[in-house]
Structure 1
Amino acid sequence: MFYKDKNILNILFEAIPEGVIIVDENQIIVAANHPSEKMFGYKKGELTNNHLNCLIPKKFHVEHASHFQTFLNGNGSRQIDNHSNLTGVKKSNKKFPVEIGLNPFKIENKKYVLALIIDISARKENERRIDFINSELEKKVNQRTADLHNTITQLKVLNLNFKKEIKKRIAAENKLKESLKKEIELNELKSKFLTMVSHEFKTPLSGILTSSMLLNKYQLTEEQSKREKHIKTISNKAQYLNAILNDFISIEKLEANNINYKFTNFNLSTVINDVVYNANMLLKEGQHIKFPNNIDEFIVTQDEKYLKIALSNVLNNAIKYSPENSTITIEVTQNNSNIEFKISDNGIGIPENDQKFIFNRYFRAENVLNIPGTGIGLNIVKVHIENLGGNLSFNSKINEGSTFIISLPNKL
């Protein structure tokens, strides 16, 4: 049949740029166009009457025969599949990738299959190159990503170290600033201390020296009262200096943590009476101390010595900063766990702006700068009271007076 219309068939075959092969039901090639012959490396007409296996790798011959019969009996076409991996064999036995579209048809009750074949070697090579380029690119990306990750890690480490270094520098600067601040405060404290010591020692010593000189002038018996007056002045000034020295010794012991507190049981009335008795010698004209007389049954377990020191200091301050003809009041309350002392006066009071500094060592409120004092008594009292497990507090109003409260655990 194909030979009757040979001219028409040749024209059609040669007009198709892809390879075209027609096989019969026995897989015999009955027609092949020039592009297909060139594709497989055959001369013109050399493929005709050859078995289709000459174009298929040997290892697929058996499998292909089964697929061919199944396809032929199915009467369906198969479009070219870009994703199929088909291989053709050239006359030189060189294998190359192809894409094949199949279309079965009948002529005079005979079955044939038309195969449209495309050599995709160039495409596969391009794909291989693209895959290689992509692979190399992916490697470079991975390497760059790893390098970037490594750089980021190094930067994080550097940043962390930088932050640590900054933190250390800030800490060092803060420490230096704190040291400088303490140095400035210490210098100011030394200056205040020297000024205070100079004033507080100079005035009593001057009084002692003057009274000593005047004593020599009063030799007569009838001048005994004048002698006693100067002797009392000398005694009072000496006691004042002794008190200042005792305060300095107390500070040194406190700073060296060289104080051993001794807790004993004692009657509170004995302590109050001693404190009031000693304070009476300091009273101004018309001043008096009001204290409870119903505490004979109060038994306290505390350090008796330092309780006396604390009460005496606060009471003496009340006398010093209160006017003549005024009353200083001592109140005492006790329960199973605590004992509390309130010492109140109607004196000059503490300015509100100065109250937060009142327990600072060497600090003196602005309204007492012309009154003798060291500014260390309340600081010492507060430290002793806190060491004994208690608390020292106060409330005060300028020109109305102050109340100092000593609260201590009663170690029954």
Structure 2
Amino acid sequence: GTEKLQWMMDSLIKMSRLEIGAIQLTPAPTGIRQTISESISGVVALATRKNISIMTTALNDIELYHDRKWTREALNNILENAVKYSPANSTIAVTMEQLPLYTKIIITDRGIGIDEKDYNLLFKRFYRGQNVAGQEGAGLGLYFARLIMEKQGGYIMVDSKPSEYTSFALFLQNCKKLG
């Protein structure tokens, strides 16, 4: 109980400091592979408990414009949700796709999925979907991830099919325009 409350307070403080600009992100050209690897390391123990494997494919080590510490936190929030809402013995896929101006990091799980009508609400503060009642959470993770992405000129999108999959795409700016 106390630990969870402390975590919640810390999260709220961090979030409000980000919102008002008291915490400054310092995005710079940074290799993305290490950022992704560190995020995955943060959820491995959680995934192992449910025998969930995290597969990475096509992770080119390109420099993307991002703040490693905060981007890692955004990715971590998405990955934690993926593990939380995935069935045991399933796989979470982490892939990358390079576009002319952005590179997207895609995290896909085979979990409970999200109803399309909830897409816009997902990234709002304290929002929790109807179908997550059995899971604990504060409804801060996705809002926080969105805030972090936007503070460094990126953005985040979701695509899902209830009971089949959920896919989050985090877009970070390329340092050099491709194509």
TM-score with structure 1 setting the length: 0.40
Contact kept? 1:288, 1:326, Cα under 8 Å: yes
For 2:165, the equivalent position in structure 1 comes to 401
| Distance in 1 (alpha carbons) for counterparts of 2:13 and 2:23 | 11
Where in structure 2 are the equivalents of 1:289-308 lying within 5 Å? 289-292=54-57, 294-295=59-60, 297-308=61-72
Contact kept? 1:318, 1:345, Cα under 8 Å: yes
| Distance in 2 (alpha carbons) for counterparts of 1:306 and 1:248 | 15
CA displacement at 1:267 relative to structure 2: 2.1
CA displacement at 1:398 relative to structure 2: 1.2
Where in structure 2 are the equivalents of 1:112-261 lying within 5 Å? 202=1, 205=2, 238=3, 243-261=7-25
| Distance in 1 (alpha carbons) for counterparts of 2:86 and 2:124 | 22
Secondary structure of 1:372's counterpart equals: coil
What letter corresponds to residue 275 of structure 1 in structure 2? S
| Distance in 1 (alpha carbons) for counterparts of 2:6 and 2:167 | 27
Contact kept? 1:331, 1:342, Cα under 8 Å: yes
CA displacement at 1:243 relative to structure 2: 4.3
Secondary structure of 2:147's counterpart equals: helix
CA displacement at 1:254 relative to structure 2: 2.6
For 2:123, the equivalent position in structure 1 comes to 359
| Distance in 2 (alpha carbons) for counterparts of 1:321 and 1:347 | 5
- Within the candidate set 309, 315, 321, 2:85 is matched to 321
Where in structure 2 are the equivalents of 1:54-65 lying within 5 Å? none
For residues 261 and 285 of structure 1, do their structure 2 counterparts lie closer, same or farther at Cα, with a shift above 3 Å needed? closer
Count of aligned pairs between the two proteins: 175
Contact kept? 1:322, 1:348, Cα under 8 Å: yes
For residues 267 and 254 of structure 1, do their structure 2 counterparts lie closer, same or farther at Cα, with a shift above 3 Å needed? closer
Query: Which protein is richer in helix relative to its size?
Result: 1
Check if 1:386 corresponds to 2:127. no
CA displacement at 1:300 relative to structure 2: 2.4
For residues 385 and 353 of structure 1, do their structure 2 counterparts lie closer, same or farther at Cα, with a shift above 3 Å needed? same
| Distance in 1 (alpha carbons) for counterparts of 2:32 and 2:164 | 29
Secondary structure of 1:275's counterpart equals: helix
For 1:20, the equivalent position in structure 2 comes to none
314-323 vs 245-254, which moves further: 245-254
Aligned-residue sequence identity (percent) comes to 29
Secondary structure of 1:282's counterpart equals: helix
| Distance in 2 (alpha carbons) for counterparts of 1:273 and 1:411 | 20
For residues 255 and 270 of structure 1, do their structure 2 counterparts lie closer, same or farther at Cα, with a shift above 3 Å needed? closer
CA displacement at 1:294 relative to structure 2: 4.8
Contact kept? 1:302, 1:410, Cα under 8 Å: no
Secondary structure of 1:405's counterpart equals: strand
- Within the candidate set 92, 102, 114, 1:338 is matched to 102
CA displacement at 1:241 relative to structure 2: 5.4
- Within the candidate set 39, 45, 59, 1:281 is matched to 45
Deviations 1:273-331 (A, max 9, x none): 11111110111332110013652x42223211121111111111000000100000001
Across the aligned residues of Structure 1 and Structure 2, the Cα RMSD in angstroms comes to 2.0
| Distance in 2 (alpha carbons) for counterparts of 1:401 and 1:315 | 14
What letter corresponds to residue 249 of structure 1 in structure 2? I
TM-score with structure 2 setting the length: 0.87
Contact kept? 1:247, 1:377, Cα under 8 Å: no
Deviations 1:341-360 (A, max 9, x none): 11000000113343331111
For residues 330 and 241 of structure 1, do their structure 2 counterparts lie closer, same or farther at Cα, with a shift above 3 Å needed? farther
Contact kept? 1:351, 1:367, Cα under 8 Å: no
| Distance in 1 (alpha carbons) for counterparts of 2:170 and 2:59 | 19
Contact kept? 2:107, 2:167, Cα under 8 Å: yes
| Distance in 2 (alpha carbons) for counterparts of 1:300 and 1:248 | 28
Contact kept? 1:264, 1:301, Cα under 8 Å: yes
CA displacement at 1:411 relative to structure 2: 3.0
Kindly name which structure, 1 or 2, has the bigger radius of gyration based on alpha carbons: 1
